Amino acid sequence: MFLDRLELDNQELEKKEEEFESLLLNESEAEAVLKELQGFFANLSFEDSVKKYKTTYWRWYTELTWDRLNGLSEQILVNIAIGQQVPTALLLGINVWQDLMRYFLANNYLENNVESLYIKVKKSFQESKVTVGVWKGSDITVADLVKEAKEINKRNDSLAEAEFENKLKQIMLSNDWLVQEYAAEDSDDAAGAFIELIAFFETFTEENIWFVVDSFINPEKYQNGAGEVPSAAPKPAASERPVSKSVPTTPPKPVISSETISKPPVLKPTVSTKPTLQETRVVEPQVRPTTAQIKSEIESQFKKDDKGNFEDIETVLAMLSTLSEKYNDPKIADMMYFDEKENKFKWNT
């Protein structure tokens, strides 16, 4: 058991750290420990979890959750990863926005139901009562910061925005236990990423989130500022989605500044015609797509390098694994295999 001893002295902590780093490389061990940690923290209040185990098991729980995010349920994504772990994840250097986009791609993109999950994720983040840090002796939550950011941007006051950013840096720095010992990001970078998330969730609604996810793998398909997407704009059919480019590592330009909270960007698909709503349905919920459909969709979405290998093979494999679990069909997960002789992943169809 990973949780063989709750209170760790310095020597025990060092050994446990080594054990954790090792299990990350073992699929079955990582899965078993994640379930163990999920069960452990499910019986504790969030405040008790962080206060008692913030430098040990809570930190490892956060790392493991985000490391295996694509294979987790929507409930865990919404309530735990987004609802509780974002402040810690940002300080640990986890790219929350990018990982969220990858989750949408691996779990919801083919199903055309990104919108319904986005509503839950957005609400969980904006209303989160998780403490980010301390300001003037008081605990400041995610919801507090979201509310303050909205009020400041209504005033369109650049000085107030700068003061808010500086305040957020100090609040995140108050997590000295994490910043000094374990943080992969300094408070400046973590605060910037936090502001980007606030802007992202405030800017985009369920009506246009699909276009953001699509632009994550198809950036050449969109022109910022070139036009406006109607609130009920239909999604392009699968056959009209161009082959993806390399995956960006930061949010699309429209949401990298807190300025976008009051000035939402506009996205416009460059396709000349828009299909009807009926044409956008690729796979009906709970109806297993054929092997040929899955392969065709993946081939059309993910770019390959000069040697014919998928550039983003991790997301491809995650998508196959997720569909395999969703339709209870292990054959889907086995659609691709690694050919050791050719040193590449190949279709098993």
Q: What per-residue confidence (pLDDT) applies to 158?
A: 74
Q: Which two tokens stand for residue 255?
A: 């949401």
Q: What per-residue confidence (pLDDT) applies to 177?
A: 57
**DSSP-assigned letter for residue 55:** T
Per residue of the chain (349 residues), what is the pLDDT tens digit?
899 888 888 899 889 999 999 998 888 999 999 999 999 998 888 777 777 888 889 999 999 999 999 889 999 999 999 999 999 999 888 999 999 999 998 887 666 788 999 999 999 999 999 989 888 889 999 999 999 998 988 887 777 888 888 888 888 877 655 555 665 555 578 888 999 999 999 888 888 888 888 888 777 766 554 334 333 334 444 334 333 333 334 444 333 333 333 333 334 433 333 233 233 333 333 467 788 878 887 887 677 888 888 887 877 887 787 777 767 788 888 888 888 888 888 888 7
Q: What per-residue confidence (pLDDT) applies to 257?
A: 37
346 phi and psi, to 5 degrees? Answer: -135, 155
Q: Which two tokens stand for residue 300?
A: 């059309």
Q: What per-residue confidence (pLDDT) applies to 253?
A: 36
Whole-angstrom Cα distance, residue 205 to residue 122?
9
> Which residues lie closer than 8 Å to 123 by C-beta, 6 or more apart?
none
Whole-angstrom Cα distance, residue 68 to residue 270?
34
Q: What per-residue confidence (pLDDT) applies to 179?
A: 54
Whole-angstrom Cα distance, residue 109 to residue 283?
10
Q: What per-residue confidence (pLDDT) applies to 183?
A: 52
Q: What per-residue confidence (pLDDT) applies to 99?
A: 93
Whole-angstrom Cα distance, residue 204 to residue 115?
11
> Which residues lie closer than 8 Å to 99 by C-beta, 6 or more apart?
66, 69
Q: What per-residue confidence (pLDDT) applies to 101?
A: 92
